[in-house]
Structure 1
Amino acid sequence: MFGSVLRQFSRISLNQLPLQASGRSICTTTALQFKITDYLCAEPMKKKKKIDPAIVRAREERRRKKLEKQIRRLQKNARQLKPIDEMEVPLHLLDQIQKRSRGPPQISQEVQEERALLQKEWTRYKRQEYMAHVAQIDRIMAAQKRALDRLYEESEDLYNEAIMPDLQLIPYSVTGPVATPPIKGYESPDGDYLDVSKKWND
């Protein structure tokens, strides 16, 4: 209703309206609307309490002692290895260790003597095998030396060619050190992984 009255009133020209002698004029601008300012969540500032400097020093001292205790605890467990779950014995098995433990079996005297004789026989067999192997190597080296001596008597050039290593037999090439020398004073990390991949902002 108020809007319709304003629209009708806006159509009337100022020339058609009689001016009052009191000096009042008619405003043709839009009607003023009610506006509310933003509310502010504020409260009076609290008065600061004066604290005894001795209490402040005591708090700082307690905080410092707590930090020192944590640092000592970390230093004590600095080189402690991280546990491997696959190698940890379950707790229910540790509780049953008395039930699961078995003593050594009782072996009769005859079985002990039989095992001792079997051990001696196996030792003699391995010694004979080793001696036969060493004798075979000695025979091969002696035959090689005799062949080289006869070749030297025949031709010195052929002898020099025979004792030259055959580089084509086992091809071998080296490009650099196969292992990095150890760094003195370096402590390897205990299974830690540091992600150094680049992160791009969207």
Structure 2
Amino acid sequence: MFNLNIFRQFSRLTISSAAKIPINTRNISASAVVQFKITDQLWAEPLKKKKKLDPAIVKAREERRRKRLEKQIRRLEKNARQLKPIEEIEPPLHLLDEMKKRKRPAVNISEEEQEARALLLKDWTRYKKQEYISNVNQIDRIMAAQRRALDMLYEESEELYNEAIMPDLQLIPYTVSGTYATPPIKNYNSPDGEYFDVSKKWGQK
């Protein structure tokens, strides 16, 4: 027969033990009933013993570091105002000599000529605007007519409509051979991609 007194004592013991367990977010501990405890994790290592250096060695190291920095500063100051020449932008010397001959005198335009040019520019702007509007309207009319034709074709036959909207595969590999900027050179051997870098290096020795 089950003894209720033992069950009541066991229940009170369990409740009292649970009440003694502290709530700690950093470790897990329990009362003497559980008999175990986990302490905090320590991930540190013993400190290394610092070696005592000779003050003369430390001073020599600092002196060498200071001299190296001063040398770099002097090198930067020396090349600060030295610009890198760009051969592609510099004009040839014979053009510099002929600059006075090639220089055109300033043209003085009268106020009437300036007004006429301004009116001509406005007329040209209005003309190009009307041309653009007419081109857009023509494209819209063509697209609307095409849409109406496709709708009428769909009412007649769906198969013909599907054939009409299919892309023309013969036009996909489209190639054009037109005029070139320069005529072809006869018996010219095309390079295979190799080249020699002849650009000058500045600031290096």
Between structure 1 and structure 2, the one with the greater Rg is 1
Q: TM-score, normalised by structure 1?
A: 0.42
Question: Using CA pairs below 8 Å that are at least 6 residues apart, which structure has the higher relative contact order?
Answer: 1
